[in-house]
Structure formats: structure tokens, C-alpha cells
């Protein structure tokens, strides 16, 4: 099944997907802000639109493209994070503009550099529109990218967003050479915080243990290809937020997500100690060593786990 696919956003991830889909025999056109021009032009003949911009670009593009959206054409949303203005996910930003839009979320352990090298990966297509997700699963799966489906787009998006915050914390852990025990403990407790937010925003706890949750966390927290991990390493070296971002040289979604999730925590009364320390470190309120001391010095308690419904 060949599709006419419009890819909006041709950074590392968008370019990787465009190439992957073209190799599968799909007709791919693309638009990026760097190239300029009218992004609505590529929508006119599209049977699927893939949104692969950073989250910061979604709001303006959703508003700009909504009046030109072809009827019945689904959106594959690949943007990860939580919008700081509305404290919502990328798919929710689109639905604000196009309430009947058939949105499918793509997320999982899919580091662009590895896919560019021809290495295999698996991801999940999450949607309230099960038939659409099923069609895209068949059309977009390949020998290099195996796709699964689920019916929890919010849980999938929140997991994909928060694992970036935990990857920053993991980078700090690596940068301070705290060892395997500390990192394993950090990631385990990070899953608890991720699960609290997923359930608090109406997602399903099971998504925490899927490809977009645990799967993506393992890849992002451990790979030197991860921008969020490298950002954490830079913070551990004592660099400021801006200097660390400059050293990474690319968008670090986890930094923005951390600010947004802490705003959500304040609104809902969630206790997210790892996110809190990452946020304080990013804003220069504490050092990396102080962040570790605060986490280790908290009051003792029973182990709280996110249980599957």
C-alpha cells in the first residue's frame, strides 16, 4: 500500500522518517521552516501528514494549517513534550484547532541516528482512531521499523515526554560517575513519577511499561546519541543551562518538559522529587552534587509502585 505522505519538519527525526517512508515506496514530500515557503502547499495532495517538528513549533503550525487541512486526512504526530502554555500534549494542541482530526501518535525508542544507519527499532502507534492506526501500522511497518498499536495516545505522549526529563537526570548520574546502582535506582523511581503524571492526566498506567515508556526511557537514558542525556552530562560538569544547550547544539525537549510538568505538579499537588531536582539544576538554583544530596536525604518511606489497572 503506497501513500502520499507530507512530512512537516525536516530535522533529524523528520528527515529520517521521510527517507524511511520513501524507501518503502511511499510518495514523500516535505516542508521545513528553514526552507521557507507555505507549508499548506504540501497538504493539498497528501493522504497522510507527518508532523515531526519540535513541540515549540506545533502551536503556530496547527493554527496556520487548520484552515487548509484536507478532509479525512489523518495526522501522524511525532512531536514529544508538554506545551508550557496550555500544559497539554502535541495531539491535544492539534485537536484544539481540528476537533475531528484523526490523530495517531508515534513514539518509542527510535533514536534517529540508529535508524539512519539501518539498525532495527520498534515503536507504537497510539490513537483513539483504532482503524486508522491499524491501516498505518500495515502501511508504515518495515524490516527496520516494527510498529505496534495501542488506544492510549495521552499516556503514550506523556510517557514519551517525561522520559526526556529522566534522561537528563540519568546524564547527570553518569556525569558524576555515581555507578550502576544509583542509575538503576534513579530510573526505577523515575518510572514512578512518570506513572503518576500519566494517570493524573487521564492516561493508562500500562503505557508506562510499553515502548513509549520503559522502552524509550532505556534508550534515551543510556545512549550517547540522546540529546537529553548529553545535556545532563553537561550540567553535571557544572555548565549553565544555556552553555549546556549550546554544547548539545540541538533542541533538548526535556528541559522544556521539566518546566511544564512542574507547573502541572503545582496545579495538581503531585510530588515529583526527581523532576523537582532536575528543574532546580536547570535553573541554576542548585549544583548537581546538591541535587543528589537532596534526593538521597529525603525522608524514608515505603516503595510506591504504579500498578496496572
User: How many Cβ atoms from other residues are within 10 Å of residue 283's Cβ?
Assistant: 13
**How far is the CA of 113 from the CAs of 7, 109, 234, in angstroms?**
18, 12, 21
CB of 74 closer than 8 Å to CB of 67 = no
CB of 155 closer than 8 Å to CB of 91 = no
Contacts of 302 (CB under 8 A, 6+ apart): none
CB of 255 closer than 8 Å to CB of 231 = yes
**Whether 163 is catalytic:** yes
The three cell numbers locating residue 110: 527510535
Distance CA 54, CA 272 (A): 25
Q: Name the active-site residue from 80, 163, 183, 301.
A: 163
Distance CA 309, CA 307 (A): 6
Q: Which active-site residues does the annotation give?
A: 163
Amino acid at each position: 500500500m503506497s501513500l502520499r505522505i507530507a512530512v512537516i519538519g525536516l530535522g533529524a527525526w523528520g528527515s529520517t522518517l521521510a527517507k524511511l517512508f520513501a524507501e518503502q515506496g511511499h510518495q514523500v514530500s516535505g516542508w521545513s521552516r528553514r526552507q521557507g515557503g507555505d507549508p499548506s502547499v504540501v497538504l493539498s495532495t497528501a493522504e497522510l501528514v507527518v508532523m515531526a517538528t519540535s513541540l515549540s513549533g506545533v502551536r503556530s503550525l496547527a493554527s496556520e494549517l487548520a484552515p487548509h487541512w484536507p478532509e479525512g486526512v489523518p495526522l501522524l504526530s511525532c512531536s514529544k513534550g508538554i506545551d508550557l502554555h496550555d500544559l497539554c500534549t502535541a495531539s491535544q494542541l492539534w485537536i484544539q484547532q481540528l476537533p475531528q482530526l484523526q490523530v495517531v501518535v508515534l513514539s518509542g525508542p527510535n533514536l534517529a541516528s540508529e535508524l539512519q544507519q539501518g539498525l532495527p527499532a520498534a515503536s507504537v502507534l497510539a490513537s483513539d482512531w483504532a482503524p486508522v492506526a491499524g491501516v498505518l501500522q500495515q502501511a508504515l511497518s518495515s524490516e527496520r521499523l516494527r510498529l505496534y498499536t495501542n488506544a492510549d495516545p495521552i499516556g503514550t505522549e506523556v510517557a514519551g515526554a517525561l522520559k526526556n526529563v529522566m534522561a537528563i537526570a540519568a546524564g547527570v548520574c553518569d556525569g558524576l560517575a555515581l555507578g550502576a546502582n544509583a542509575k538503576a535506582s534513579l530510573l526505577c523511581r523515575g518510572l514512578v513519577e512518570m506513572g503518576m503524571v500519566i494517570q493524573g492526566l487521564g492516561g493508562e498506567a500500562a503505557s508506562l511499561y510499553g515502548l513509549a515508556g520503559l522502552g524509550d526511557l532505556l534508550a534515551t537514558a543510556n545512549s550517547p546519541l540522546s540529546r537529553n542525556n548529553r545535556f545532563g552530562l553537561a550540567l553535571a560538569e557544572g555548565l549553565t543551562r544555556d552553555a549546556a544547550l549550546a554544547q548539545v547544539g540541538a533542541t533538548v525537549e526535556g528541559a522544556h518538559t521539566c518546566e511544564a510538568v512542574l507547573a502541572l505538579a503545582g496545579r495538581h499537588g503531585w510530588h515529583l522529587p526527581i523532576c523537582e531536582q532536575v528543574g532546580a539544576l536547570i535553573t541554576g538554583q542548585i549544583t548537581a552534587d546538591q541535587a543528589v544530596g537532596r534526593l538521597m536525604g529525603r525522608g524514608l518511606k515505603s516503595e510506591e509502585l504504579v500498578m496496572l489497572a
